[in-house]
């Protein structure tokens, strides 16, 4: 067993939140290590989904700081569109996942972050209520790495759980979790044919309930760079009746990039998966990949413009929407999200739609009406604040969290799990961890005014602009 030299901050997980957290900690002055189980950074951000919620529904910026810097860097590589208003999502921005992935790695390198890739968290070594070190497994065997402060960006709250932090899984009433999906990309697409079909068959162009007027039209969407469409319910119904479609989802979404014949497809769905259970994960990987094969066959046979499509890339792993929610001193609620609520200790903002996929019977807190294969997606008109208290687990002296495992209800997490929000909470959690390590003060005891001042200097958006 190898003992590595210690760090000020260790970020576990180099995905959407973790890579940004590592950059933030390093730029704040902490000697920082990011431990990542795969060979690249960015996680779900690198699947090619359009970014929703960079602005809120009223056109005000919700993401700044390091996340915005990443977007601007990708845009300079022709890897991102401008942010555009979207009548259903609030805002939308197309992105090239390869450009984002490479730009993120460059930013990590210039920030001075140390990386340890292909390494998997095993355990937390505790002394009283503090984490002394983490134990990881990699090609060298088992290694122990100490630090002053830690950031859990595993998505599933793995480090928080192993350190004894309190958490719950999924929906509060029954522990039901959102289904999982494998987002894949196809090439060889003629989107002119697809848009033409939707113009001729507006019933297959999925508009929100009660949406009227000229804002939500195929022509409008077709001319906004990076904006895709959702729907195709009639085509899916036809394929299902013919025995060509068995995926438990009744709609499909695609995300394009201007001038390219490649699009990202959101179609697969697997229910009843606990992303912290390796047997469930194995089943989800197999089922979602087989659904990808069926999905491509469906696209080729039924969807205009996709007759000659082929798989360009499949995900590094199945996409998990929800598992553990850590218990912080404050629990963000669905009402906080819907009302665009502000807090005295807010350190980030969120504007990703309140996006709940079919979980089953609806509950009062989420106000979800989805039951049977669809998606309940509500626009965030006014971005909401995320308190620092949601990023600090109760009972652990030197740990912050970021990404979808923050302290939030099932309903609120349906918005807070979005990529722009994960980047914003990653920025905040990394900065808090660095300040905690440098000042030798637990994150919960830091001056929130000092934290907010540092974040403002780093151009993070923490108050409504």
Distance CA 358, CA 137 (A): 36
Clarify whether residues 104 and 215 are in a common domain. no
Of 295, 313, 331, the residue that ends a domain is 313
Instruction: Give pLDDT, residue 69.
Output: 98
Q: With respect to residue 333, please indicate whether it lies within any of the assigned structural domains.
A: yes
DSSP class of residue 162 equals: H
User: 378 and 423, same structural domain?
Assistant: yes
Q: Is 8 found in the same domain as 143?
A: yes
* Beta carbons of 258 and 381 less than 8 angstroms apart: no
Tell me: do 165 and 189 sit in the same domain. no
What is the model's pLDDT at position 209? 63
How many distinct structural domains can be found in the chain? 2
* Beta strands, E only, 108-173: 114-116, 120-127, 130-138, 141-152, 167-169
Q: Does any domain span residue 216?
A: yes
Other beta carbons within 10 Å of 341: 15
Give the rounded distance of the alpha carbon of 97 from its chain centre.
Answer: 14
Question: Which band of pLDDT confidence, cut at 50, 70 and 90, is reported for residue 310?
Answer: very high
In a shared domain, residues 281 and 191: yes
Look at residue 16 and tell me if it is in a domain.
yes
The H or E element that residue 438 is part of is helix 419-439
User: Could you tell me if 349 and 389 lie in one domain?
Assistant: yes
pLDDT at 206: 80
> What's the confidence (pLDDT) of residue 215?
74
Examine the domain organization and report whether 154 and 7 are in the same domain.
yes
Residue 426 has pLDDT above 60, yes or no: yes
Rounded CA separation 450/465 (Å) = 20
Same domain, 130 and 27: yes
Within a domain: 306: yes
Both 82 and 227 in one domain: the answer is no
- In this prediction the pTM is 0.95
Two structure tokens written together for 16: 């959407």
CATH at 413: 3.50.50.60
Residue 370 confidence (pLDDT) above 50: no
Alpha-carbon span 322 to 85, nearest angstrom = 27
Domain boundary at 296, 313, 330, which?
A: 313
- Of 226, 229, 182, nearest to 203 by C-alpha is 229
Report the alpha-carbon distance of residue 374 to residue 231 in Å, rounded: 10
Q: In the predicted model, what is the mean pLDDT of residues 4-12?
A: 96
Query: Does residue 202 sit in helix, strand or coil?
Result: helix
Whether residue 296 lies inside any domain: the answer is yes
Tell me the C-alpha distance between 281 and 15, whole Å.
18
- What is the per-residue pLDDT across 25-59, written as a single tens digit (0 to 9) for each? 999 999 999 999 999 999 999 998 999 999 999 99
Q: Give percent of the chain with pLDDT exceeding 90.
A: 85
My answer on whether 297 and 359 are in the same domain is no
- pLDDT confidence band for 465 (50 / 70 / 90): confident
Q: Is residue 243 domain-shared with residue 345, that is, in the same domain? A: no
- State the chain's mean pLDDT as an integer: 93
Segments forming the whole domain that contains residue 355: 2-176+322-457
Could you tell me the pLDDT band of residue 371, with boundaries at 50, 70 and 90?
very low
Q: Give strand pairing partners of 85.
A: 91
pLDDT tens digits, residue range 179-210? 999 999 999 999 999 999 999 998 899 876 65
Residue 450 pLDDT more than 50?
Answer: yes
The verdict on residue 394 lying in a domain is yes
> What percent of the chain stands above pLDDT 70?
95
- Give how far Cα 278 sits from Cα of 137, 274, 284, 318, Å: 16, 8, 10, 12
Domain membership of residue 465 (yes or no) is no
- Residue where one domain finishes, among candidates 284, 313, 342: 313
The answer to whether residue 464 sits within a structural domain is: no
- Indicate whether 217 and 305 sit together in one domain: yes
């Amino acid at each position: 067993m190898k003992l590595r030299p210690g760090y000020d901050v260790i970020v576990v997980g180099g995905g959407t939140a973790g890579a940004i957290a590592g950059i933030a900690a390093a730029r704040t002055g902490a000697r920082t290590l990011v431990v990542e189980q795969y060979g690249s950074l960015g996680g779900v951000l690198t699947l090619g989904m359009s970014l929703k919620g960079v602005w809120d529904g009223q056109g005000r910026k919700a993401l700044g700081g390091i996340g915005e810097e990443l977007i601007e860097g990708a845009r300079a590589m022709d890897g991102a569109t401008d942010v555009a208003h979207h009548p259903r999502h609030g805002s939308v921005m197309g992105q090239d996942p390869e450009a984002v992935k490479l730009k993120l790695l460059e930013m990590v390198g210039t920030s001075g972050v140390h990386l340890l890739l292909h390494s998997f968290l095993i355990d937390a070594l505790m002394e009283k209520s503090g984490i002394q070190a983490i134990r990881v497994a990699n090609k060298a065997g088992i290694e122990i790495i100490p630090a002053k402060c830690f950031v859990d960006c595993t998505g599933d709250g793995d480090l928080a759980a192993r350190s004894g932090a309190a958490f719950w899984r999924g929906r509060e009433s029954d522990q039901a979790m959102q289904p999982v999906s494998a987002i894949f990309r196809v090439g060889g697409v003629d989107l002119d044919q697809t848009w033409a079909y939707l113009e001729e068959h507006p019933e297959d162009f999925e508009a929100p309930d009660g949406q009227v007027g000229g804002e939500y039209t195929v022509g409008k969407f077709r001319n906004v760079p990076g904006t895709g469409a959702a729907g195709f319910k009639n085509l899916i119904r036809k394929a299902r009746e013919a025995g060509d479609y068995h995926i438990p989802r009744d709609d499909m979404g695609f995300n394009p990039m201007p001038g390219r014949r490649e699009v990202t497809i959101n179609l697969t769905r697997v229910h009843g998966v606990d992303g912290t259970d390796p047997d469930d994960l194995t089943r989800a990987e197999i089922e979602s990949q087989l659904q990808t094969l069926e999905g491509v066959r469906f696209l080729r046979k039924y969807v205009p413009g996709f007759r000659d499509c082929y798989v360009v890339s499949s995900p590094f792993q199945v996409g998990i929407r929800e598992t553990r929610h850590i218990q912080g001193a404050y629990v963000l609620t669905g009402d906080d999200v819907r009302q665009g609520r502000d807090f005295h200790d807010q350190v980030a903002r969120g504007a990703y739609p309140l996006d709940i996929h079919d979980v089953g019977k609806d509950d009062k807190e989420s106000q979800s009406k989805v039951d049977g294969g669809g998606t309940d997606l509500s626009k965030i008109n006014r971005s909401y604040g995320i308190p620092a208290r949601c990023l600090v687990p109760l009972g652990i002296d030197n740990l912050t969290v970021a990404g979808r495992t923050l302290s939030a209800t099932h309903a609120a997490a349906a918005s807070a799990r979005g990529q722009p929000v994960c980047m914003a909470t990653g920025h905040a959690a990394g900065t808090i961890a660095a300040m905690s390590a440098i000042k030798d003060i637990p994150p919960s005891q830091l001056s929130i005014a000092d934290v907010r001042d540092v974040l403002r200097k780093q151009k993070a958006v923490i108050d409504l602009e």
